[in-house]
Structure 1
Amino acid sequence: LQFKLKESNGMPKRIFTPPQKDPELVTALNAQASERMREAILIPEITSRQDALRELKAEIFEALGEDYIDRKAEVYEILKDILKQISRDLILKENRRIDNRKFDEIRPITCEVGLLPRPHGSALFTRGETQVLGVLTLGSGQDEQRVETLYGEEFRQFMLHYNFPPYSVGETRRISGPSRRDIGHGGLSTRAIQKILPDKETFDYTIRLVSEVLESNGSSSMGTVCSCCMALMDGGVPIKAPVAGIAMGLVKEGDQVVILSDILGD
Protein backbone atom coordinates (compact mmCIF):
# COMPACT_ATOMS: atom_id res chain seq x y z
CA LEU A 1 0.00 0.00 0.00
CA GLN A 2 2.80 2.40 0.87
CA PHE A 3 4.62 1.70 -2.40
CA LYS A 4 1.41 2.34 -4.35
CA LEU A 5 0.88 5.66 -2.56
CA LYS A 6 4.48 6.61 -3.30
CA GLU A 7 4.07 5.83 -7.00
CA SER A 8 0.85 7.83 -7.31
CA ASN A 9 1.53 10.77 -5.01
CA GLY A 10 5.22 10.63 -4.08
CA MET A 11 7.60 13.55 -4.46
CA PRO A 12 11.31 13.32 -5.30
CA LYS A 13 13.60 13.50 -2.28
CA ARG A 14 15.28 16.81 -1.60
CA ILE A 15 19.06 16.74 -1.55
CA PHE A 16 20.44 17.87 1.79
CA THR A 17 23.79 19.64 1.88
CA PRO A 18 25.13 20.07 5.44
CA PRO A 19 26.52 23.51 6.29
CA GLN A 20 30.28 23.87 6.12
CA LYS A 21 32.09 24.19 9.45
CA ASP A 22 34.53 27.03 10.12
CA PRO A 23 37.99 25.45 9.45
CA GLU A 24 39.77 27.82 11.86
CA LEU A 25 37.33 26.97 14.64
CA VAL A 26 37.70 23.24 13.92
CA THR A 27 41.50 23.52 14.18
CA ALA A 28 41.33 25.52 17.40
CA LEU A 29 38.89 23.13 19.07
CA ASN A 30 40.94 20.11 17.99
CA ALA A 31 44.00 21.61 19.66
CA GLN A 32 42.11 22.43 22.86
CA ALA A 33 39.85 19.41 23.20
CA SER A 34 41.32 16.27 21.62
CA GLU A 35 43.65 15.10 24.39
CA ARG A 36 41.30 16.04 27.23
CA MET A 37 38.33 14.40 25.51
CA ARG A 38 40.34 11.23 25.07
CA GLU A 39 41.02 11.16 28.81
CA ALA A 40 37.34 11.75 29.61
CA ILE A 41 36.00 9.13 27.21
CA LEU A 42 38.17 6.44 28.81
CA ILE A 43 36.42 6.82 32.19
CA PRO A 44 34.81 3.37 32.73
CA GLU A 45 31.57 4.36 34.50
CA ILE A 46 28.94 5.87 32.17
CA THR A 47 27.56 8.57 34.49
CA SER A 48 31.03 9.80 35.48
CA ARG A 49 32.10 9.71 31.82
CA GLN A 50 29.11 11.73 30.66
CA ASP A 51 29.52 14.25 33.50
CA ALA A 52 33.20 14.72 32.64
CA LEU A 53 32.45 15.25 28.95
CA ARG A 54 29.62 17.67 29.73
CA GLU A 55 31.83 19.76 32.03
CA LEU A 56 34.69 19.71 29.52
CA LYS A 57 32.48 20.94 26.67
CA ALA A 58 31.09 23.75 28.82
CA GLU A 59 34.59 24.75 29.92
CA ILE A 60 35.93 24.83 26.35
CA PHE A 61 32.97 26.86 25.10
CA GLU A 62 33.36 29.36 27.93
CA ALA A 63 37.08 29.70 27.18
CA LEU A 64 36.30 30.78 23.60
CA GLY A 65 34.98 34.09 24.92
CA GLU A 66 32.14 36.40 23.95
CA ASP A 67 32.95 36.26 20.22
CA TYR A 68 31.38 32.79 20.07
CA ILE A 69 28.45 33.35 22.43
CA ASP A 70 25.96 33.03 19.52
CA ARG A 71 27.69 30.01 17.98
CA LYS A 72 27.17 27.49 20.76
CA ALA A 73 25.37 24.95 18.53
CA GLU A 74 28.20 25.09 15.99
CA VAL A 75 30.88 24.65 18.67
CA TYR A 76 29.10 21.69 20.25
CA GLU A 77 28.61 20.08 16.83
CA ILE A 78 32.35 20.28 16.16
CA LEU A 79 33.10 18.84 19.62
CA LYS A 80 30.70 16.00 18.84
CA ASP A 81 32.62 15.26 15.63
CA ILE A 82 35.92 15.27 17.55
CA LEU A 83 34.49 12.83 20.11
CA LYS A 84 33.26 10.53 17.34
CA GLN A 85 36.66 10.54 15.65
CA ILE A 86 38.44 9.73 18.92
CA SER A 87 36.11 6.75 19.47
CA ARG A 88 36.71 5.49 15.93
CA ASP A 89 40.48 5.87 16.25
CA LEU A 90 40.49 3.86 19.49
CA ILE A 91 38.73 1.01 17.70
CA LEU A 92 40.41 1.10 14.29
CA LYS A 93 43.96 2.13 15.22
CA GLU A 94 44.42 0.93 18.81
CA ASN A 95 42.12 -2.13 18.75
CA ARG A 96 40.37 -1.15 21.98
CA ARG A 97 37.00 0.08 23.19
CA ILE A 98 36.40 2.92 25.60
CA ASP A 99 35.77 0.36 28.39
CA ASN A 100 38.86 -1.69 27.39
CA ARG A 101 36.85 -4.76 26.36
CA LYS A 102 37.88 -6.93 23.43
CA PHE A 103 35.72 -6.57 20.33
CA ASP A 104 33.95 -9.91 20.98
CA GLU A 105 33.85 -9.64 24.78
CA ILE A 106 30.44 -9.53 26.52
CA ARG A 107 29.93 -7.56 29.72
CA PRO A 108 29.31 -9.54 32.96
CA ILE A 109 25.82 -11.11 33.03
CA THR A 110 23.65 -11.96 36.05
CA CYS A 111 20.14 -13.47 35.98
CA GLU A 112 17.50 -13.84 38.70
CA VAL A 113 13.96 -15.27 38.50
CA GLY A 114 10.93 -15.28 40.75
CA LEU A 115 11.63 -11.87 42.29
CA LEU A 116 7.99 -10.69 42.39
CA PRO A 117 5.48 -12.86 44.31
CA ARG A 118 2.22 -11.68 42.71
CA PRO A 119 2.73 -11.94 38.91
CA HIS A 120 2.78 -15.33 37.18
CA GLY A 121 6.46 -14.93 36.31
CA SER A 122 9.28 -12.43 36.74
CA ALA A 123 12.97 -12.19 35.91
CA LEU A 124 15.77 -9.66 36.33
CA PHE A 125 18.45 -9.60 33.63
CA THR A 126 21.63 -7.56 34.07
CA ARG A 127 24.40 -7.12 31.50
CA GLY A 128 27.02 -4.57 32.51
CA GLU A 129 25.21 -1.31 33.25
CA THR A 130 22.01 -2.44 31.52
CA GLN A 131 19.34 -3.97 33.75
CA VAL A 132 15.82 -5.03 32.70
CA LEU A 133 12.96 -6.47 34.77
CA GLY A 134 10.56 -8.74 32.85
CA VAL A 135 7.08 -9.40 34.28
CA LEU A 136 4.61 -12.02 32.99
CA THR A 137 0.84 -12.01 33.49
CA LEU A 138 -1.49 -14.66 32.08
CA GLY A 139 -5.17 -14.10 31.32
CA SER A 140 -8.18 -15.64 29.60
CA GLY A 141 -9.44 -15.14 26.06
CA GLN A 142 -11.42 -12.07 27.13
CA ASP A 143 -8.13 -10.34 27.99
CA GLU A 144 -6.86 -10.40 24.40
CA GLN A 145 -5.91 -7.03 22.92
CA ARG A 146 -8.41 -5.66 20.40
CA VAL A 147 -6.66 -3.74 17.65
CA GLU A 148 -8.22 -1.71 14.85
CA THR A 149 -6.03 -1.91 11.74
CA LEU A 150 -6.37 -0.68 8.16
CA TYR A 151 -7.72 -4.10 7.27
CA GLY A 152 -10.27 -4.32 10.07
CA GLU A 153 -10.41 -5.45 13.67
CA GLU A 154 -8.13 -8.17 15.05
CA PHE A 155 -7.40 -9.74 18.43
CA ARG A 156 -3.93 -10.43 19.76
CA GLN A 157 -3.21 -13.16 22.26
CA PHE A 158 0.27 -11.81 23.03
CA MET A 159 1.28 -8.34 24.22
CA LEU A 160 4.70 -6.95 25.15
CA HIS A 161 5.02 -3.50 26.67
CA TYR A 162 8.47 -1.89 26.81
CA ASN A 163 8.99 0.93 29.30
CA PHE A 164 12.11 3.11 29.23
CA PRO A 165 11.75 5.62 32.10
CA PRO A 166 14.10 8.64 32.18
CA TYR A 167 15.73 7.55 35.46
CA SER A 168 17.22 4.52 33.66
CA VAL A 169 19.73 6.87 32.02
CA GLY A 170 20.05 9.35 34.90
CA GLU A 171 17.60 11.90 33.50
CA THR A 172 14.45 13.61 34.77
CA ARG A 173 11.51 14.56 32.58
CA ARG A 174 7.75 14.33 32.40
CA ILE A 175 6.45 10.78 31.95
CA SER A 176 3.47 10.58 29.60
CA GLY A 177 2.37 7.99 27.04
CA PRO A 178 4.63 5.58 25.16
CA SER A 179 7.38 7.27 23.17
CA ARG A 180 8.48 6.31 19.66
CA ARG A 181 11.41 4.52 21.29
CA ASP A 182 9.09 2.53 23.55
CA ILE A 183 6.96 1.46 20.58
CA GLY A 184 9.91 0.69 18.31
CA HIS A 185 11.98 -1.24 20.85
CA GLY A 186 8.86 -3.03 22.07
CA GLY A 187 8.09 -4.10 18.51
CA LEU A 188 11.64 -5.36 18.01
CA SER A 189 11.49 -7.44 21.20
CA THR A 190 8.01 -8.67 20.32
CA ARG A 191 9.23 -10.20 17.05
CA ALA A 192 11.88 -12.20 18.91
CA ILE A 193 9.60 -13.45 21.70
CA GLN A 194 6.64 -14.19 19.41
CA LYS A 195 8.59 -16.88 17.55
CA ILE A 196 9.01 -19.04 20.66
CA LEU A 197 5.47 -18.87 22.08
CA PRO A 198 3.37 -22.05 22.10
CA ASP A 199 0.44 -22.44 19.71
CA LYS A 200 -2.96 -21.31 20.96
CA GLU A 201 -4.30 -24.86 20.63
CA THR A 202 -1.81 -26.11 23.22
CA PHE A 203 -1.68 -23.03 25.51
CA ASP A 204 -4.95 -21.10 25.41
CA TYR A 205 -3.93 -18.17 27.61
CA THR A 206 -3.53 -14.49 26.87
CA ILE A 207 0.09 -13.55 27.53
CA ARG A 208 1.18 -10.09 28.62
CA LEU A 209 4.83 -9.24 29.19
CA VAL A 210 6.01 -5.93 30.63
CA SER A 211 9.65 -4.88 30.32
CA GLU A 212 10.83 -2.31 32.85
CA VAL A 213 14.26 -0.90 31.98
CA LEU A 214 15.80 -0.06 35.35
CA GLU A 215 19.22 0.98 34.03
CA SER A 216 20.48 1.37 30.49
CA ASN A 217 23.85 1.56 28.82
CA GLY A 218 23.13 -0.08 25.49
CA SER A 219 21.10 -3.06 24.28
CA SER A 220 18.01 -2.55 26.45
CA SER A 221 15.77 -4.03 23.73
CA MET A 222 17.87 -7.21 23.74
CA GLY A 223 17.88 -7.13 27.54
CA THR A 224 14.09 -7.12 27.20
CA VAL A 225 14.24 -10.27 25.08
CA CYS A 226 16.42 -12.01 27.70
CA SER A 227 14.38 -10.96 30.76
CA CYS A 228 11.01 -11.69 29.13
CA CYS A 229 12.16 -15.12 27.97
CA MET A 230 13.19 -15.97 31.52
CA ALA A 231 9.90 -14.59 32.88
CA LEU A 232 8.01 -16.92 30.51
CA MET A 233 10.02 -19.90 31.78
CA ASP A 234 9.52 -18.77 35.39
CA GLY A 235 5.77 -18.72 34.77
CA GLY A 236 5.72 -22.23 33.30
CA VAL A 237 4.85 -21.20 29.73
CA PRO A 238 5.90 -24.10 27.43
CA ILE A 239 8.04 -22.04 25.03
CA LYS A 240 9.44 -23.72 21.92
CA ALA A 241 13.04 -22.73 22.71
CA PRO A 242 14.94 -20.12 24.75
CA VAL A 243 15.89 -16.90 22.98
CA ALA A 244 18.43 -14.18 23.81
CA GLY A 245 20.06 -11.26 22.06
CA ILE A 246 22.80 -8.65 22.15
CA ALA A 247 23.32 -5.40 20.26
CA MET A 248 26.02 -5.50 17.58
CA GLY A 249 28.02 -2.71 15.99
CA LEU A 250 30.14 -2.29 12.86
CA VAL A 251 32.92 0.25 12.31
CA LYS A 252 34.35 0.56 8.79
CA GLU A 253 37.18 2.65 7.42
CA GLY A 254 38.14 1.85 3.84
CA ASP A 255 38.82 -1.90 3.68
CA GLN A 256 39.17 -2.20 7.47
CA VAL A 257 36.07 -3.60 9.17
CA VAL A 258 35.58 -4.16 12.91
CA ILE A 259 32.52 -5.92 14.38
CA LEU A 260 31.66 -5.13 18.00
CA SER A 261 29.65 -7.44 20.23
CA ASP A 262 27.47 -6.00 23.01
CA ILE A 263 27.88 -2.29 22.22
CA LEU A 264 27.51 0.49 24.79
CA GLY A 265 24.76 3.07 24.69
CA ASP A 266 27.14 6.00 24.23
Structure 2
Amino acid sequence: LIDGLDEEYYKKFYLHYNFPPYSVGETGRMGAPGRRELGHGSLAERALSYVLPSIEDFPYTVRLVSEITESNGSSSQASICGGSLALMHAGVPIKEHVAGIAMGLIKKGDDYVVLTDIMGLEDHLGDMDFKVAGTKTGITALQMDMKIAGISEDIMRIALKQALDARLQILTLMNSTIQNTNELAPTVPRIHQMVIPKDKIAVLIGPGGKNIKGIIEATGATIDIEDDGRVAIFCQGLDVLERTITLVNGYVKDVEVGEVYTGKVVNIAKFGAFMEILPGKEGLLHVSEISLERVANVEDVLKVGDTFEVKVISTENGKVSLSRKKLLQEMAAE
Protein backbone atom coordinates (compact mmCIF):
# COMPACT_ATOMS: atom_id res chain seq x y z
CA LEU A 1 0.00 0.00 0.00
CA ILE A 2 1.44 3.36 -1.08
CA ASP A 3 0.21 6.03 1.31
CA GLY A 4 1.58 9.27 -0.13
CA LEU A 5 0.30 12.72 -1.02
CA ASP A 6 -1.80 11.29 -3.85
CA GLU A 7 -4.68 8.87 -3.52
CA GLU A 8 -3.71 5.52 -1.96
CA TYR A 9 -2.82 2.73 -4.36
CA TYR A 10 -1.12 -0.68 -4.36
CA LYS A 11 2.10 -1.81 -6.00
CA LYS A 12 3.38 -5.36 -6.58
CA PHE A 13 6.98 -4.31 -7.30
CA TYR A 14 9.15 -1.72 -5.64
CA LEU A 15 12.87 -1.02 -5.49
CA HIS A 16 14.63 0.49 -2.49
CA TYR A 17 17.87 2.31 -3.25
CA ASN A 18 20.14 3.05 -0.31
CA PHE A 19 23.09 5.42 -0.71
CA PRO A 20 24.84 5.79 2.66
CA PRO A 21 27.41 8.58 3.12
CA TYR A 22 30.29 6.11 3.53
CA SER A 23 29.85 4.95 -0.08
CA VAL A 24 31.53 8.19 -1.18
CA GLY A 25 33.93 8.47 1.77
CA GLU A 26 31.79 10.87 3.79
CA THR A 27 30.27 10.88 7.26
CA GLY A 28 26.70 11.76 7.96
CA ARG A 29 23.36 10.72 9.34
CA MET A 30 21.60 7.67 7.90
CA GLY A 31 17.90 8.44 8.19
CA ALA A 32 14.98 8.73 5.82
CA PRO A 33 15.82 8.62 2.10
CA GLY A 34 16.46 11.97 0.46
CA ARG A 35 15.42 13.33 -2.91
CA ARG A 36 18.45 11.75 -4.61
CA GLU A 37 17.73 8.29 -3.22
CA LEU A 38 14.06 8.48 -4.16
CA GLY A 39 14.85 9.66 -7.68
CA HIS A 40 17.49 7.04 -8.41
CA GLY A 41 15.37 4.29 -6.88
CA SER A 42 12.40 5.36 -9.00
CA LEU A 43 14.53 5.35 -12.16
CA ALA A 44 15.87 1.85 -11.49
CA GLU A 45 12.41 0.59 -10.55
CA ARG A 46 10.90 1.94 -13.76
CA ALA A 47 13.68 0.41 -15.88
CA LEU A 48 13.06 -3.07 -14.45
CA SER A 49 9.26 -2.89 -14.24
CA TYR A 50 8.77 -3.52 -17.97
CA VAL A 51 10.29 -7.02 -17.91
CA LEU A 52 8.39 -8.27 -14.86
CA PRO A 53 5.76 -10.99 -15.34
CA SER A 54 2.06 -10.24 -14.99
CA ILE A 55 0.26 -10.71 -11.69
CA GLU A 56 -1.59 -13.67 -13.21
CA ASP A 57 1.67 -15.41 -14.11
CA PHE A 58 3.55 -14.45 -10.93
CA PRO A 59 1.23 -13.32 -8.09
CA TYR A 60 4.02 -12.23 -5.75
CA THR A 61 4.92 -8.85 -4.30
CA VAL A 62 8.60 -8.26 -5.10
CA ARG A 63 10.83 -6.00 -3.05
CA LEU A 64 14.27 -5.34 -4.50
CA VAL A 65 16.90 -3.58 -2.37
CA SER A 66 20.07 -2.03 -3.78
CA GLU A 67 22.71 -1.29 -1.15
CA ILE A 68 25.41 1.02 -2.52
CA THR A 69 28.66 0.35 -0.67
CA GLU A 70 31.00 2.34 -2.94
CA SER A 71 30.35 4.80 -5.72
CA ASN A 72 32.43 6.59 -8.34
CA GLY A 73 30.02 6.31 -11.24
CA SER A 74 26.34 5.74 -11.88
CA SER A 75 25.10 3.69 -8.95
CA SER A 76 21.53 3.90 -10.27
CA GLN A 77 22.57 2.07 -13.45
CA ALA A 78 24.56 -0.41 -11.37
CA SER A 79 21.38 -0.98 -9.38
CA ILE A 80 19.53 -1.82 -12.60
CA CYS A 81 22.19 -4.35 -13.66
CA GLY A 82 22.46 -5.85 -10.17
CA GLY A 83 18.68 -5.85 -9.75
CA SER A 84 18.19 -7.76 -13.00
CA LEU A 85 20.76 -10.37 -11.90
CA ALA A 86 19.14 -10.64 -8.47
CA LEU A 87 15.65 -11.16 -9.92
CA MET A 88 16.88 -13.98 -12.14
CA HIS A 89 18.83 -15.56 -9.29
CA ALA A 90 15.66 -15.52 -7.17
CA GLY A 91 13.76 -17.29 -9.95
CA VAL A 92 11.47 -14.39 -10.84
CA PRO A 93 10.44 -15.08 -14.47
CA ILE A 94 11.47 -11.73 -15.95
CA LYS A 95 11.34 -11.54 -19.75
CA GLU A 96 15.05 -10.76 -20.20
CA HIS A 97 17.98 -8.92 -18.61
CA VAL A 98 18.01 -5.13 -18.27
CA ALA A 99 21.23 -3.10 -18.14
CA GLY A 100 21.96 0.59 -17.74
CA ILE A 101 24.80 2.92 -18.71
CA ALA A 102 25.54 6.59 -17.96
CA MET A 103 26.70 8.78 -20.89
CA GLY A 104 28.58 12.06 -20.49
CA LEU A 105 29.52 15.06 -22.62
CA ILE A 106 32.44 17.48 -22.78
CA LYS A 107 31.58 20.43 -25.06
CA LYS A 108 33.49 23.59 -25.90
CA GLY A 109 32.14 25.75 -28.68
CA ASP A 110 31.31 23.49 -31.60
CA ASP A 111 33.69 20.77 -30.45
CA TYR A 112 32.42 17.97 -28.27
CA VAL A 113 33.15 14.45 -27.07
CA VAL A 114 30.51 11.97 -25.90
CA LEU A 115 31.74 9.81 -23.02
CA THR A 116 30.58 6.29 -22.15
CA ASP A 117 30.21 5.08 -18.54
CA ILE A 118 31.23 8.31 -16.86
CA MET A 119 32.96 8.44 -13.48
CA GLY A 120 32.24 10.90 -10.70
CA LEU A 121 34.77 13.50 -11.90
CA GLU A 122 33.44 13.36 -15.48
CA ASP A 123 29.93 13.86 -14.15
CA HIS A 124 31.02 16.80 -11.97
CA LEU A 125 33.07 18.61 -14.63
CA GLY A 126 31.11 17.49 -17.71
CA ASP A 127 28.09 19.04 -19.41
CA MET A 128 25.69 16.06 -19.43
CA ASP A 129 24.66 13.05 -17.38
CA PHE A 130 22.50 10.93 -19.66
CA LYS A 131 21.33 7.60 -18.20
CA VAL A 132 20.02 4.97 -20.65
CA ALA A 133 18.62 1.63 -19.49
CA GLY A 134 17.01 -1.17 -21.42
CA THR A 135 17.13 -4.64 -22.90
CA LYS A 136 18.80 -5.81 -26.09
CA THR A 137 15.67 -4.87 -28.02
CA GLY A 138 14.71 -1.51 -26.55
CA ILE A 139 14.98 1.23 -23.94
CA THR A 140 12.97 0.98 -20.72
CA ALA A 141 14.11 4.19 -18.94
CA LEU A 142 15.89 7.46 -19.70
CA GLN A 143 17.09 10.33 -17.52
CA MET A 144 19.13 13.36 -18.52
CA ASP A 145 20.77 16.13 -16.51
CA MET A 146 22.44 18.98 -18.45
CA LYS A 147 24.54 21.98 -17.46
CA ILE A 148 24.31 23.63 -20.87
CA ALA A 149 21.34 25.14 -22.69
CA GLY A 150 20.75 22.07 -24.83
CA ILE A 151 22.24 19.51 -27.19
CA SER A 152 21.94 18.94 -30.91
CA GLU A 153 20.24 16.00 -32.61
CA ASP A 154 23.66 14.71 -33.70
CA ILE A 155 24.89 14.58 -30.09
CA MET A 156 21.73 12.79 -29.06
CA ARG A 157 22.15 10.20 -31.83
CA ILE A 158 25.79 9.59 -30.93
CA ALA A 159 24.96 9.27 -27.24
CA LEU A 160 22.16 6.77 -27.89
CA LYS A 161 24.34 4.74 -30.29
CA GLN A 162 27.23 4.56 -27.82
CA ALA A 163 24.79 3.70 -25.03
CA LEU A 164 23.38 0.85 -27.14
CA ASP A 165 26.86 -0.54 -27.87
CA ALA A 166 27.76 -0.40 -24.17
CA ARG A 167 24.43 -1.89 -23.08
CA LEU A 168 24.76 -4.83 -25.44
CA GLN A 169 28.27 -5.50 -24.15
CA ILE A 170 27.03 -5.48 -20.54
CA LEU A 171 24.02 -7.66 -21.40
CA THR A 172 26.28 -10.23 -23.07
CA LEU A 173 28.28 -10.49 -19.85
CA MET A 174 25.14 -10.67 -17.71
CA ASN A 175 23.62 -13.41 -19.87
CA SER A 176 26.84 -15.41 -19.70
CA THR A 177 26.68 -15.16 -15.90
CA ILE A 178 23.06 -16.17 -15.33
CA GLN A 179 20.03 -16.90 -17.48
CA ASN A 180 16.47 -17.26 -16.29
CA THR A 181 15.43 -20.78 -15.41
CA ASN A 182 12.02 -19.61 -14.13
CA GLU A 183 12.53 -21.98 -11.19
CA LEU A 184 12.03 -20.67 -7.70
CA ALA A 185 14.29 -22.04 -4.99
CA PRO A 186 12.64 -24.95 -3.12
CA THR A 187 12.55 -22.86 0.08
CA VAL A 188 10.73 -19.88 -1.47
CA PRO A 189 7.18 -19.39 -0.12
CA ARG A 190 4.80 -20.60 -2.79
CA ILE A 191 1.74 -18.95 -4.29
CA HIS A 192 -0.28 -21.06 -6.68
CA GLN A 193 -3.51 -20.18 -8.45
CA MET A 194 -5.85 -22.70 -10.04
CA VAL A 195 -9.41 -22.66 -11.34
CA ILE A 196 -11.97 -25.33 -10.45
CA PRO A 197 -15.50 -25.80 -11.83
CA LYS A 198 -18.04 -23.74 -9.90
CA ASP A 199 -20.11 -26.84 -9.13
CA LYS A 200 -17.07 -28.31 -7.35
CA ILE A 201 -16.66 -25.44 -4.87
CA ALA A 202 -19.13 -26.93 -2.39
CA VAL A 203 -17.43 -30.33 -2.70
CA LEU A 204 -14.02 -28.84 -1.95
CA ILE A 205 -15.34 -26.93 1.07
CA GLY A 206 -17.33 -29.89 2.38
CA PRO A 207 -20.08 -29.92 5.03
CA GLY A 208 -19.26 -27.26 7.57
CA GLY A 209 -15.91 -26.71 5.85
CA LYS A 210 -14.76 -30.21 6.77
CA ASN A 211 -12.84 -30.94 3.56
CA ILE A 212 -10.98 -27.63 3.23
CA LYS A 213 -10.17 -27.56 6.95
CA GLY A 214 -8.76 -31.08 6.65
CA ILE A 215 -6.44 -30.03 3.82
CA ILE A 216 -5.26 -26.97 5.77
CA GLU A 217 -4.58 -29.04 8.89
CA ALA A 218 -2.73 -31.71 6.91
CA THR A 219 -0.47 -29.30 4.99
CA GLY A 220 -0.32 -26.04 6.94
CA ALA A 221 -1.21 -24.16 3.76
CA THR A 222 -3.54 -21.18 3.48
CA ILE A 223 -6.27 -21.64 0.87
CA ASP A 224 -8.59 -18.94 -0.47
CA ILE A 225 -11.60 -19.92 -2.60
CA GLU A 226 -13.41 -17.32 -4.73
CA ASP A 227 -16.99 -17.54 -5.95
CA ASP A 228 -15.84 -17.78 -9.59
CA GLY A 229 -13.86 -20.97 -8.88
CA ARG A 230 -10.42 -19.44 -8.42
CA VAL A 231 -8.40 -21.17 -5.72
CA ALA A 232 -5.26 -19.52 -4.31
CA ILE A 233 -2.82 -21.63 -2.31
CA PHE A 234 -0.17 -20.05 -0.06
CA CYS A 235 2.38 -22.31 1.61
CA GLN A 236 6.02 -22.81 2.56
CA GLY A 237 8.10 -24.84 0.10
CA LEU A 238 7.55 -26.82 -3.08
CA ASP A 239 6.84 -30.15 -1.37
CA VAL A 240 3.96 -28.70 0.65
CA LEU A 241 2.53 -27.03 -2.47
CA GLU A 242 2.55 -30.26 -4.48
CA ARG A 243 0.85 -32.13 -1.64
CA THR A 244 -1.80 -29.41 -1.27
CA ILE A 245 -2.57 -29.38 -5.00
CA THR A 246 -2.93 -33.18 -4.96
CA LEU A 247 -5.42 -33.00 -2.08
CA VAL A 248 -7.43 -30.21 -3.71
CA ASN A 249 -7.56 -32.10 -7.01
CA GLY A 250 -8.69 -35.16 -5.09
CA TYR A 251 -11.97 -33.44 -4.27
CA VAL A 252 -12.59 -31.56 -7.52
CA LYS A 253 -11.30 -33.90 -10.24
CA ASP A 254 -13.48 -36.65 -11.67
CA VAL A 255 -12.11 -40.18 -11.91
CA GLU A 256 -11.25 -40.92 -15.54
CA VAL A 257 -10.86 -44.24 -17.34
CA GLY A 258 -7.24 -44.97 -18.18
CA GLU A 259 -5.82 -42.79 -15.38
CA VAL A 260 -3.39 -44.26 -12.89
CA TYR A 261 -3.86 -43.47 -9.20
CA THR A 262 -2.04 -44.36 -6.02
CA GLY A 263 -4.74 -46.16 -4.05
CA LYS A 264 -5.05 -47.33 -0.47
CA VAL A 265 -6.85 -50.51 0.55
CA VAL A 266 -9.67 -49.55 2.94
CA ASN A 267 -11.74 -52.73 2.99
CA ILE A 268 -11.36 -56.36 1.87
CA ALA A 269 -14.12 -58.66 0.65
CA LYS A 270 -14.15 -62.18 -0.79
CA PHE A 271 -14.51 -60.84 -4.34
CA GLY A 272 -11.81 -58.14 -4.08
CA ALA A 273 -10.62 -55.02 -2.28
CA PHE A 274 -12.09 -51.54 -2.00
CA MET A 275 -9.47 -48.83 -2.51
CA GLU A 276 -9.54 -45.09 -1.91
CA ILE A 277 -7.94 -43.50 -4.97
CA LEU A 278 -8.94 -39.89 -4.21
CA PRO A 279 -10.27 -38.28 -1.02
CA GLY A 280 -13.76 -39.69 -0.56
CA LYS A 281 -13.64 -41.63 -3.84
CA GLU A 282 -13.34 -45.41 -3.81
CA GLY A 283 -13.10 -48.10 -6.44
CA LEU A 284 -13.22 -51.90 -6.51
CA LEU A 285 -10.11 -53.92 -7.28
CA HIS A 286 -11.69 -57.25 -8.28
CA VAL A 287 -9.88 -60.42 -7.28
CA SER A 288 -9.27 -61.17 -10.97
CA GLU A 289 -7.46 -57.82 -11.42
CA ILE A 290 -5.07 -58.07 -8.47
CA SER A 291 -2.19 -60.02 -10.00
CA LEU A 292 -0.93 -61.71 -13.13
CA GLU A 293 -1.33 -65.04 -11.28
CA ARG A 294 -4.65 -66.38 -10.08
CA VAL A 295 -5.54 -65.22 -6.56
CA ALA A 296 -7.67 -67.65 -4.54
CA ASN A 297 -7.92 -65.63 -1.34
CA VAL A 298 -7.68 -61.82 -1.37
CA GLU A 299 -6.43 -61.64 2.22
CA ASP A 300 -3.43 -63.80 1.27
CA VAL A 301 -1.99 -60.99 -0.92
CA LEU A 302 -3.58 -57.77 0.39
CA LYS A 303 -4.33 -56.18 3.73
CA VAL A 304 -6.04 -52.98 4.83
CA GLY A 305 -3.64 -50.05 4.58
CA ASP A 306 -1.65 -51.36 1.61
CA THR A 307 -0.81 -48.61 -0.89
CA PHE A 308 0.04 -49.15 -4.56
CA GLU A 309 -0.75 -47.89 -8.06
CA VAL A 310 -3.89 -49.02 -9.87
CA LYS A 311 -5.48 -48.19 -13.22
CA VAL A 312 -9.11 -47.21 -13.75
CA ILE A 313 -10.66 -49.60 -16.28
CA SER A 314 -14.35 -48.66 -15.96
CA THR A 315 -16.69 -46.06 -14.43
CA GLU A 316 -19.99 -47.52 -15.66
CA ASN A 317 -23.09 -46.67 -13.62
CA GLY A 318 -20.93 -44.55 -11.34
CA LYS A 319 -19.02 -47.58 -10.10
CA VAL A 320 -15.22 -47.36 -10.40
CA SER A 321 -13.41 -50.55 -11.39
CA LEU A 322 -9.66 -50.79 -10.82
CA SER A 323 -6.91 -53.03 -12.11
CA ARG A 324 -3.42 -53.74 -10.88
CA LYS A 325 -2.96 -56.55 -13.39
CA LYS A 326 -3.18 -54.13 -16.34
CA LEU A 327 -0.25 -52.09 -14.98
CA LEU A 328 1.81 -55.25 -14.38
CA GLN A 329 1.12 -56.37 -17.96
CA GLU A 330 2.19 -52.96 -19.33
CA MET A 331 5.40 -53.06 -17.27
CA ALA A 332 6.16 -56.59 -18.51
CA ALA A 333 5.61 -55.50 -22.11
CA GLU A 334 8.13 -52.69 -21.77
For normalisation by structure 1, the TM-score amounts to 0.44
* More contact order relative to length (CA 8 Å, sep ≥ 6): 1
Larger CA Rg, structure 1 vs 2: 2
For normalisation by structure 2, the TM-score amounts to 0.35
Name the one with the larger strand percent. 2
